[in-house]
Chain A
Amino acid sequence: MSKTLFEKIWDKHVVSAIKDGPSVFYIDRHFIHEVTSPQAFNGLNKRGIKVFRPQQTIATADHNVPTLNQHLPIQEEQSRMQVEALIKNCTAHGVELYGLGHPYQGIVHVIGPELGITQPGMTIVCGDSHTSTHGAFGSIAFGIGTSEVEMVLSTQCLLQTKPKLMRITVDGILKKGVVSKDIVLYILSKISASGATGYAVEFAGAAIRSLSMEARMTICNMSIEMGARCGMIAPDETTYAYIKGRKFAPEGVEWDKKLTYWKTLFSDVDAVFDKEYHFDAADISPMITFGTNPGMGIPITGTIPTKDTVTETDRNGLEQSLRYMGLESGNPILGQKIDYVFIGSCTNSRIEDLRMVANFVKGKRKASNVEVWVVPGSKQVEQQAIQEGIDKIFEEAGFILRQPGCSACLGMNEDKIPQGKYCISTSNRNFEGRQGVGARTLLASPLSAAAAAVTGVVSDIREWLN
């Protein structure tokens, strides 16, 4: 019988099915971090049980860590206590921790792939909605709540109901200046912030195939912004080449065995999806958001929608959104003044993102009205950037290269955008207050963020490319 990629992996991980209920679903890899794990460990301790499979659990500190002076003790007391709780819990339960100061520390969705922990065919969870990122390798990867973190810590399983299946195909060739972030913001603008709720989404088509692993991760990362349970892309030569030689990648005979298996991981030609969308890459321009959910995106040369032109899903929320954003219907977004530029987050903080920005800003200088923060996704990304001299390019441009962490993506540590200020951000959410109380976020690609950093206003990167 024909199966989708999702079904092939799902079927292999069902331990047992409850009649009229969810399945006991086995988890291969569990990532944990300081913010959503302490209450789960408390639960285990209360029951007097240990982590069931510590060798399948990997921890890092990312959400709540400072991105300057990481060698010093964390100053803010609650944050320090949270990070200390993670250290204590990992030690007590024998879980490997890549904490502050460790050469592998970084944003959980950046380090998993870069260490070769994330592999095709796996089931991967983490108490973080952007776990969907790992689906770029052809795995079933999704975010869970803390009660579920406790379930996985104690049994390596979850109770899961099989979602419906959606395929989003993007064919054609991308235009100059358009990158994977634009693809996903475009899809979001078409299907809305709830368009894939209840579905596992497979991204397919020539335009997706043409992307590097890091670019694919950006797309799967934001599948949660459509409400999807997970996003995934079938593994191919690009995937295998990325994994090969990484720290925890299989080697020798083990590699051959796994590779043979990985090559079976694709949706069969006549596999059936519950819903399908088709898009043409040629229709996609550099994108930017104007509102307060990630589905509120427009081409960067477009105008801010009115009640009549906005999608039906966002009609009721448009007025409140624009009031919050201090923007007006009918105005162009190009030329909108920017105060901050944030280049980072699990969406766009990998070495290719930093290279993309560095290539553009080399020899240029940031506009005087903006502050530019570049936050690498991991220690390894940071080291690589230094090795390539990217740090010098940023320094000369007046950008500040900070240390790895989630930073201003969620405004949990001290990296916050002040009230009323505009930030063009390569992160994934433009919700009210996401980057700080009253902060106004415009989501865009690293290229568009770099262009705005140089001009101080929302700018069309294509003006430099011709």
Chain B
Amino acid sequence: MAKKLDIIQSHFVPLPVENIDTDQIIPARFLKATTKEGFGKNLFRDWRYRNNDEAQPIKDFVLNNPLYTGSILVAGKNFGCGSSREHAAWAIADYGFNVVVSSFFADIFKNNALNNGILPVTVSERFLQQIFELSNEALLRINLFDQTIMIGSTGASESFDINPYKKTCLMNGYDDIDYLLSMKDKIQQYEMPITKSLNQLG
């Protein structure tokens, strides 16, 4: 059971870079763990530290700038492309984000986010640019029930799409596995030899 999401109001961390792939979010060398915990400390590892050394933080990188805080990450288009590693979603959640805003998400990352109680909010390119122009003091307000995102200081808002099933899951903290397990009878029926030969499955 994941945490329930409804209204999220928070400062945000801007990362105006396009095509951020999951190798940047969490490099492969940190995928050796067999549990889901603790990936946040290596989130954006090689953009955060010089020479892979925690004693050498890269000052320009936004996660190292104490002025930027909040549970919302705002990133350039095609966020989460590349490897299917769910560790990327785990790292983002473990770091403390529960919303990622972008103008475009890669498919697998979007699913991984939703399966970990992270809300991916797709906004227009224009709205994304408006957010990037805001100061670090600005607040974003996301209302999952209404499917809207609003800039606190200007009142500018936009609605976003989410699959109604996934919305219900996020609002209630349900997960897909619970749902699929409840479908076992139907699945077994589908597998019956007669259905299977009709379908000529592999």
* A interface residues with partner B (beta carbon < 8 Å): 12-13, 15-16, 18, 20-22, 24, 26, 28-29, 35-36, 38-39, 42-43, 47, 49, 63-64, 78-79, 81-82, 85, 119, 121-122, 127-129, 139, 143-148, 150-151, 154-159, 161, 163, 193-194, 197-198, 224-225, 227, 229, 257-258, 261, 293, 316-317, 320, 410-412, 429, 431-434, 437
Contact = CB atoms under 8 A, between A and B. Distances in A.
B187 A155 contact: yes
A370 B108 CA distance: 36
A23 to B, nearest CB: 10
Nearest to A414: B29
B138 interface: no
Interface of B: 17-19, 21, 23-24, 27-29, 31-36, 46, 51-52, 76-78, 81-87, 89, 104, 106-108, 111-112, 115-116, 163-166, 175-177, 179-181, 183-184, 186-187, 190-191, 199-202
Contacts, number: 196
A20 B19 contact: no
Contacts of B85: 35-36, 145
B23 A434 contact: yes
B84 A36 contact: yes
A146 B163 contact: no
A258 B199 CA distance: 11
Given A122-B202, A197-B78, A431-B24, A410 B83 contact: yes
Given A147-B177, A148-B115, A18 B165 contact: yes
Given A36-B86, A129-B82, 7 more contacts: A143-B108, A144-B84, A147-B175, A157-B183, A197-B81, A411-B28, A412-B29
A21 B176 contact: no
Contact of A159 (B31, B176, B186): B176
Contacts of B199: 12-13
23 contacts: A18-B165, A21-B163, A22-B163, A22-B165, A28-B201, A36-B85, A38-B35, A63-B28, A64-B31, A81-B34, A119-B202, A127-B84, A129-B82, A197-B81, A197-B107, A227-B107, A261-B200, A316-B18, A317-B17, A411-B29, A431-B23, A433-B46, A437-B46
Contacts of B177: 43, 47, 147, 150-151, 154-155
Contact of A432 (B23, B86, B107): B23
A458 to B, nearest CB: 23
Contact of B112 (A147, A159, A161): A147
A225 to B, nearest CB: 8
A26 B190 contact: yes
Contacts of A227: 78, 81, 106-107
A167 B35 CA distance: 39
A125 B143 CA distance: 34
B29 A155 contact: no
B187 A24 contact: yes
A431 B183 CA distance: 40
A433 B106 CA distance: 20
B115 A320 contact: no
Contact of B84 (A21, A129, A155, A198): A129
B164 A20 contact: yes
Nearest to B77: A194
A156 B189 CA distance: 13
A154 B184 CA distance: 9
A145 B114 CA distance: 11
Given A81-B34, A147-B115, A148-B111, A197 B106 contact: yes
Nearest to A261: B200
A129 B114 CA distance: 17
Nearest to B105: A197
Contact of A38 (B34, B184, B200): B34
Contacts of B179: 159
What are the 4 tightest A-B residue pairs by CB atom distance, in nearest-first order? A21-B165, A145-B86, A38-B34, A147-B115
Contacts of A79: 32
Contact of A143 (B32, B84, B191): B84
A157 B33 contact: no
Contacts of A197: 78, 81, 104, 106-107
A194 B180 contact: no
B23 A151 contact: no
Contacts of A24: 180, 183, 186-187
Contacts of A26: 187, 190-191, 201
A257 B198 CA distance: 12
A39 B32 CA distance: 11
B49 to A, nearest CB: 10
A78 B163 CA distance: 38
Contacts of B77: 194
Given A12-B201, A145-B108, A154 B180 contact: yes
A229 B28 CA distance: 22
B82 to A, nearest CB: 6
The listed residue with most A CB atoms (<10 A of its CB), out of B106, B165, B199, B202, is: B202
Contacts of A64: 31-32
A293 B22 CA distance: 12
B201 A122 contact: yes
A412 B165 CA distance: 36
A47 B177 CA distance: 10
A457 to B, nearest CB: 27
Contacts of B180: 24, 151, 154-155, 157-159
B78 A78 contact: no
Contacts of A148: 111, 115, 176
